Chains A and B, each alone.
Chain A
Amino acid sequence: MFAEAPVTAPPYLATLLWLAPLPPLVAFALIALFFNRYRQLSSTIAVVSMLASTVMSFIVFFNVWQLKDLGKAPIRSTFPWLPTGDTVLNIGVGVDPLGATFLFMVPLACSLIFIYSTGYMANDPYYSRFFAYLSLFGGSMMGLVVSDNLLTLFIFWELMGFCSYSLIGFFFRKPSAYRAAVKAFMTTRVGDMLLLLGMAYLYTQTGTLSFHEILHNEEVLTKLAETPAVFGLSAAAAIALLIFGGTVGKSAQWPLHVWLPDAMEGPTPVSAMIHAATMVSAGVFMLLRFFPLLQAAGEHNTAFLVVALIGAFTAFMGATIAVAQYDIKRVLAFSTISQLGFMVAATGIGAYVAAAFHLLTHAFFKALLFLASGSVIHGVEHGHHAAHAHHAGHHGHSSHAGHEEEHGSEHEEHAHDHDFDPQDMRNMGGLARRMPITFATFLIGGAALAGVPFITAGFWSKDEIFADAYYHGLVKGDGLATLVFVLLVLSALMTAFYTTRQIVMTFLGEPRTEAAAHAEESVPSMTFPLIVLAVFALFIGFINVPKDFPVFGALVGGGAFWLKNFLASMLLEKPEAPPFNAVPVLFSIVVALGGIALGYMVYGVRPLTAGQTDPVERLPFFKFLHNRWYWDDLYRAIFVKPMQFIADRYSEAVDRGVIDRILEGGYALGARVTKGFAEFDRVVITGFSDAVGRAFRAAGDWVRDLQTGQVQGYLLSSLAMALVILIVFIFLFQ
């Protein structure tokens, strides 16, 4: 499977790495500057550029995917960029095993989302703007993946922050949308600040920001581990924690998770971008990059502890909240938070490969789920308009696939539309018959999320995490890993439950509203990406089947543990790999099927009818869960409100009391000075000019009498003058 000797990769790969992120970035510039009036052209440019990027990335990936020692000697291309005192800051691109797997996933998912968007956004008045931002988003993520150093990674990281801001607030006329955009931007900013600090700290300690030079260098890592920092932490642990701060913000971990559910305000393809291909993946991606730093800080160090606890807690909290949501996208949002918690917790207990594996599979099935939910929303909106038109007696309105509505009040005559929420699962039901492709693909995505054994990707990656946690916790007796294992198993159970709830509420039973009854299947440009993603959601898990797994290990043969072997060269010190153990496998089978069975008993046996109360509302702590553990209210009370209070007082005291006074004083002074200048102008400058004019006029009046018009008179005076000059010459120069 793997080439034994270090195979030399073709030299053009480095060039391709430089080129891979460029097409979408260029597409952004082209659309923004030149083609924003041409809708069709804009989307074509965006899709083609992303496909070009995909082709280049795939060429790179399929050239390196069998190289055994790629991690030891990654393909890199750097150049000195910024001299900083004694050292020079190099920037460049590179591909190592972790980057290579992302070069496969990111452009593929982005391309599918782009294609889907051409259908989903078809009726939006700001179609070109959407594709411009989407291209920038995709290009930034590509740039982040190929970066070989923390500085360019950070630049692209921030570019993505900007793109998510613009796209979450895409329906900028809706107050909730722009508030969500600001919230997302501000919340991730907290994490980015920590990341920036970590970066500065790292640079002062090592004099370089290149991943390979820091993280694959025993000497540097040892030095970092031995340098003491604050609070009894080593420099390695302190830097790792600061960088983890960036992950917490970007990957929506507690306590900075609050922005992600609100990010649902953006159009659904954006949610898919944020939740799967780009934004949140970037956070975990970077955490995995800096895994060697965590290792260097030593086993059971504080950094590992913090990462594991935050991850496990977030996984558990996200899963509990997802149970009690009605908005179809909000359920998925909290499931994303929860699944990211799985990855972070896995990283925290040293399960490097499992975390990367889950990140990869999750990207595919979560992109699928979001795009499918977008298709559902689209269908229900369509159905709502169709039903309304039917009742009003004119069918013409059925062609309004009403996204304009999201842009404000263009449809005044549809005033009651604003009461109808096409994303509320209580307004759905029975969609399986109306939208068969969407149903089938959503079912596959949901199965992967729930971890249906053997046939879905989600099972394999989640099982991998369980195996690691079980081995470190219950076999080796590590308390932290045990806690992580327990929390994750509970979360997985709830995941299976809420996924079943969601699928049943949306697709099964009888339609609960007219809109659901009239919903229609989406256009092929939207269903095609769903089908492709569904294939990946089923089969991508086979890239890392454990070798000793019954039946399946033998089935994949030499392909077993491909990802693990591929990523192995990333780390100098290999974390202990658990031997195959049937107990965690049984756990993952039982929680997945148990959760599904439980969900089906509650919702599936007797599906909800219109107006019936959801059974979860009978839970004693439903309100607590539905209101998202009150985190948003807490933050509002302790951060937003005091900040607003301070800002108000400040504006009153400083802005109006001091600054305005100074400005007014300055204004008065300026007015006086100006008046002085005006006087000077009037008297001196204007007076002088006028005097000159008058003098010339007088001189002219006097001189004009000399002009008689008599030619002979002129000649006579010339003669007289000549004589005078002659006489003067004679007397002076004799």
Chain B
Amino acid sequence: MGLQNAINGIPLEWYLIVAAALFSIGLYGVLARKNAVAMLMGVELMLNSVNLNLLAFWRYLAPESAAGLAFAAFVFVVAAAETAVGLALIIAVYRSLKSVDPETLTQLKL
């Protein structure tokens, strides 16, 4: 029961601050990394920060509704699918171009 009390003692804002930090780290990763795999990792971080937000709001503001949990579950599923497709794409790109640097991937430009 000690752990439960400790968690209850943490205010909502803390969660939000962690989530915002996590989101910013993820965003930075997406925008700045020179490796497509790392960009994908950044996206995962951003998705997880959103999940953290969703769960925190659910727990503190509407614990009687299951909507927050459901949303979080959906995000997990989407994130898993997105990762699978993204990695497959990156592997395919690597096979044909021997590179995963997003700056060199400009073939679709007019």
Is A719 in contact with chain B by the CB < 8 A criterion? yes
* A709 / chain B contacts, CB cutoff of 8 Å: 105-109
Is A87 in contact with chain B by the CB < 8 A criterion? no
Q: Decide: A712 and B102 in contact? CB cutoff 8 A.
A: yes
Min distance, Cβ A705 to any Cβ of chain B, angstroms? 10
- Against B, the Cβ 8 Å flags (1 = close, 0 = not) of A693-734 are 000000000001001111110011001000000000000000
* A710 / chain B contacts, CB cutoff of 8 Å: 102-103, 106
Number of interface residues of B (CB under 8 A): 13
State the CA gap A712–B34 with chains docked (Å).
Answer: 9
Number of interface residues of A (CB under 8 A): 10
Min distance, Cβ B99 to any Cβ of chain A, angstroms? 13
Q: Decide: B106 and A708 in contact? CB cutoff 8 A.
A: yes
Min distance, Cβ B107 to any Cβ of chain A, angstroms? 8
Q: Decide: A707 and B30 in contact? CB cutoff 8 A.
A: no
* A707 / chain B contacts, CB cutoff of 8 Å: 109-110
Is B25 in contact with chain A by the CB < 8 A criterion? no
Q: Decide: A719 and B102 in contact? CB cutoff 8 A.
A: no
Is B31 in contact with chain A by the CB < 8 A criterion? yes
Is B75 in contact with chain A by the CB < 8 A criterion? no
Min distance, Cβ B104 to any Cβ of chain A, angstroms? 9
State the CA gap A3–B109 with chains docked (Å).
Answer: 106
Q: Decide: B110 and A719 in contact? CB cutoff 8 A.
A: no
Which residue of chain A has its CB nearest to the CB of B32? A712
- Against A, the Cβ 8 Å flags (1 = close, 0 = not) of B29-42 are 01110000001000
* B20 / chain A contacts, CB cutoff of 8 Å: none
B:29-71 near A, CB below 8 Å = 30-32, 39
* A719 / chain B contacts, CB cutoff of 8 Å: 27, 31
Tell me which of B32, B102, B110 contacts A711 (CB under 8 A). Answer: B102
Min distance, Cβ B37 to any Cβ of chain A, angstroms? 14
Q: Decide: B105 and A715 in contact? CB cutoff 8 A.
A: no
State the CA gap A712–B30 with chains docked (Å).
Answer: 7
- Against B, the Cβ 8 Å flags (1 = close, 0 = not) of A306-325 are 00000000000000000000
What residues of chain B have their CB less than 8 Å away from a CB belonging to chain A? 27, 30-32, 39, 102-103, 105-110
19 CB-based A-B contacts, threshold 8 Å? A704-B110, A707-B109, A707-B110, A708-B106, A708-B109, A709-B106, A709-B107, A709-B108, A709-B109, A710-B102, A710-B103, A710-B106, A711-B102, A711-B105, A712-B30, A712-B32, A712-B102, A715-B31, A716-B31
Known: A704-B110, A709-B108. 16 other contacts (CB 8 A): A707-B109, A708-B106, A708-B109, A709-B107, A710-B102, A710-B103, A710-B106, A711-B102, A711-B105, A712-B31, A712-B32, A712-B39, A712-B102, A712-B103, A715-B30, A715-B31
